[in-house]
A and B are shown apart, each in its own frame.
Chain A
């Protein structure tokens, strides 16, 4: 009961913070807009847009632009950012065994997570489109998206739980292995041949719902006439899928795939909670965290971050081009 006053004061603090934060932000804009009304009309017109975008630009400059440039700079300095070491950190990044494992695993994540999330998402979207209980199916597949990676990790740690062969298995997968297939239980996070796949499966479980929702909307936008015409021409379901549906939603598939690619490059939480990168499951983002907090080597950590950025730049280019195409249409 002692905790009660503390939590009440914290609830009050939350409320106060919300009021101050929101009120403060809005009144900042209104006050600035009011102040410039005392200036001549033409000056006013030139300044006003900057009041609307100014705060945004300041925040972005401080939180994204400056740190990005600074990290690039730090990646050429030593552990404590005191002296210039040239490309030493990058040399370390491409030769160190743990880093090489991380590269291999990120590639594995990228290929498998993208293939399976997009593939399964597409299959489920197409199948669900043909049954009457579509909404229920979609909600249930989509639900993991609302769950945190940490929460999902606990869920799956339990699915993968391992007990010695002579004790009753409480993990779902090992129980199936032992009771139905008569096999030995497997330590899913320990076996080096399996552990990466076990982690990526958690990612697929989380991301498929996202792919499914976006792809399902695209499938529904294909006009019924096109499908009918193909059917009249004698196309079977298989041909319909590969020759009509997939080509017609290919741009949406590309959008979904780029998003999943970015997520797989940045994979962190699942690995951090489930294995912490041990036994050959390291990924770049977790490696960076370790360099930063465990080894306190800011040069190497920065180099890993820059490598992540460089891997993501092609995707960024696609994103910006997509935006410009949209603008051209408008």
Chain B
């Protein structure tokens, strides 16, 4: 009994430390969420923590800020743009990478190892190296400011990581499985579609979450290839423009920021397991 008591006491500092750190870590996001629900005069008059004086007085919360930014500030449009950009930018690189990963893992061709090492090497080429030449080509081809242009750009930037991860996964599937399929007369295409793809669903899922969050949260690529046009600007671009133009309008900025975070947070909480697996599988995004 005294042993258990001593054990519990010796653990107290651990509990205090971990709860303290978690509290500090969460506080900024909580402040954002609460502020986005308060009226303008409240936000400017008192700190957001003052709602805790009577947390259940629901008259101090309202949704006006959200209604305002969605309709007046064009956040609704930006939300759709973000979706239009993100979905194809997630699916296309994964499709291209899956075919290539299968070839690197199970097909014989000259230069296989060298090419794969080059792909892995490209992982850490900073995006900045590609901006000027690509923007010039894009301007000449009329691709800048178009969704097609940014889909392909995200595809290019996302591919090395996608190939790296899928090759590791598809390559670690049991060899017997593929050899017996080939013996039964399956072509590579059949083996890829019927065997490799279904078995790689966990890897593809975590990769998809990764790429989705990366594209959704990207600012630089959108800034370069899309410019600031309302027609195509995603949430990140819109939000960073609002920081410049609205400056101190915290009630609007906090609501806008929360709108931009809502979908990634839903994805994150519902698919956290895959996300963590993805991070563990290969934590080297260029």
Residues of A at the B interface (CB closer than 8 Å) are: 3, 7, 10-11, 13-14, 17-18, 21-22, 25-26, 29-30, 33, 46, 48-50, 52-53, 55-57, 59-60, 62-68, 70-71, 74, 120, 124, 127-128, 130-131, 136-137, 139-151, 153-159, 161, 168-172, 175, 205, 208, 210, 213-214, 217, 255-256, 258-259, 262, 265-266, 268-269, 272-273, 285, 288-289, 292, 298, 301-302, 304-306, 308-309, 312, 315-316, 319-320, 323-324, 326, 330
Check A55–B99 contact: CB distance below 8 A: yes
**Residues in B whose Cβ lies below 8 Å from that of A143:** 26, 29, 265, 268
Instruction: Tell me the complex Cα distance, A289–B219, Å.
Output: 12
Check A22–B219 contact: CB distance below 8 A: no
Instruction: Tell me the complex Cα distance, A89–B198, Å.
Output: 51
CB distance from A47 to the nearest CB of B (A): 9
> How many residues of B are counted as interface, with CB atoms below 8 angstroms from the partner's CB atoms?
113
What total of A-B pairs shows CB separation below 8 Å?
318
Q: Interface digits, B163-176 against A, CB 8 Å rule (1 contact, 0 not)?
A: 11000100110000
- Given the known A-B contacts A14-B80, A151-B239, are A56 and B188 also in contact in the complex, defined by CB atoms under 8 Å? no
- B77-133 residues at the A interface, CB under 8 angstroms: 77, 80-81, 83-84, 87-88, 91-92, 95-97, 99-100, 102-104, 107-109, 112, 115, 117, 119-133
Check B156–A60 contact: CB distance below 8 A: yes
Contact of A53 among B80, B100, B192, B217 (CB under 8 A): B100
Instruction: Tell me the complex Cα distance, A169–B102, Å.
Output: 58
Check A148–B264 contact: CB distance below 8 A: yes
Instruction: Tell me the complex Cα distance, A18–B147, Å.
Output: 11
- Given the known A-B contacts A52-B103, A148-B264, A301-B132, are A316 and B88 also in contact in the complex, defined by CB atoms under 8 Å? no
Is residue B5 contacting chain A, with contact meaning CB distance below 8 A? no
Check A17–B147 contact: CB distance below 8 A: yes
Beyond the given A10-B81, A63-B134, could you list 6 further A-B residue pairs with CB under 8 A, ordered by the A residue number? A46-B109, A146-B265, A150-B217, A153-B240, A172-B47, A326-B168
Instruction: Tell me the complex Cα distance, A301–B285, Å.
Output: 23
**Residues in B whose Cβ lies below 8 Å from that of A151:** 217, 236, 239, 257, 260-261
Return the chain B residue nearest A159 by Cβ. B28
- Given the known A-B contacts A3-B76, A150-B240, are A266 and B128 also in contact in the complex, defined by CB atoms under 8 Å? yes
Check B217–A148 contact: CB distance below 8 A: yes
Is residue B51 contacting chain A, with contact meaning CB distance below 8 A? no
Contact of B103 among A18, A49, A259, A265 (CB under 8 A): A49
- Given the known A-B contacts A14-B87, A53-B115, A319-B284, are A170 and B43 also in contact in the complex, defined by CB atoms under 8 Å? yes
Check A159–B31 contact: CB distance below 8 A: yes
Q: What 8 pairs between A and B have smallest CB-CB spacing?
A: A63-B156, A148-B217, A52-B103, A67-B130, A146-B268, A49-B109, A56-B100, A70-B133
Check A56–B134 contact: CB distance below 8 A: no
**Residues in A whose Cβ lies below 8 Å from that of B1:** none
Return the chain A residue nearest B189 by Cβ. A33
Return the chain B residue nearest A304 by Cβ. B128
- Given the known A-B contacts A10-B84, A17-B88, A22-B95, are A144 and B76 also in contact in the complex, defined by CB atoms under 8 Å? no
**Residues in A whose Cβ lies below 8 Å from that of B218:** 148
Instruction: Tell me the complex Cα distance, A140–B20, Å.
Output: 12
**Residues in A whose Cβ lies below 8 Å from that of B18:** 124, 127-128, 131, 137
Instruction: Tell me the complex Cα distance, A60–B96, Å.
Output: 11
**Residues in B whose Cβ lies below 8 Å from that of A319:** 120-121, 123-124, 284
Check B99–A63 contact: CB distance below 8 A: no
**Residues in B whose Cβ lies below 8 Å from that of A157:** 243, 253
- Given the known A-B contacts A57-B115, A154-B254, A170-B46, are A14 and B84 also in contact in the complex, defined by CB atoms under 8 Å? yes
- Given the known A-B contacts A68-B125, A301-B132, are A148 and B88 also in contact in the complex, defined by CB atoms under 8 Å? no
CB distance from B239 to the nearest CB of A (A): 5
**Residues in A whose Cβ lies below 8 Å from that of B115:** 53, 57
Is residue B153 contacting chain A, with contact meaning CB distance below 8 A? yes
- B143-199 residues at the A interface, CB under 8 angstroms: 147, 151-153, 155-157, 159-160, 163-164, 168, 171-172, 187-189, 192
Check B257–A56 contact: CB distance below 8 A: no
Check A64–B128 contact: CB distance below 8 A: no
**Residues in A whose Cβ lies below 8 Å from that of B283:** 210, 214, 255-256, 259
- Given the known A-B contacts A30-B189, A319-B123, are A146 and B253 also in contact in the complex, defined by CB atoms under 8 Å? no
Is residue B250 contacting chain A, with contact meaning CB distance below 8 A? yes
Check A150–B126 contact: CB distance below 8 A: no
Contact of A272 among B31, B189, B240 (CB under 8 A): B240
List 6 A-B pairs, Cβ < 8 Å.
A3-B77, A141-B22, A142-B272, A149-B219, A157-B243, A262-B286
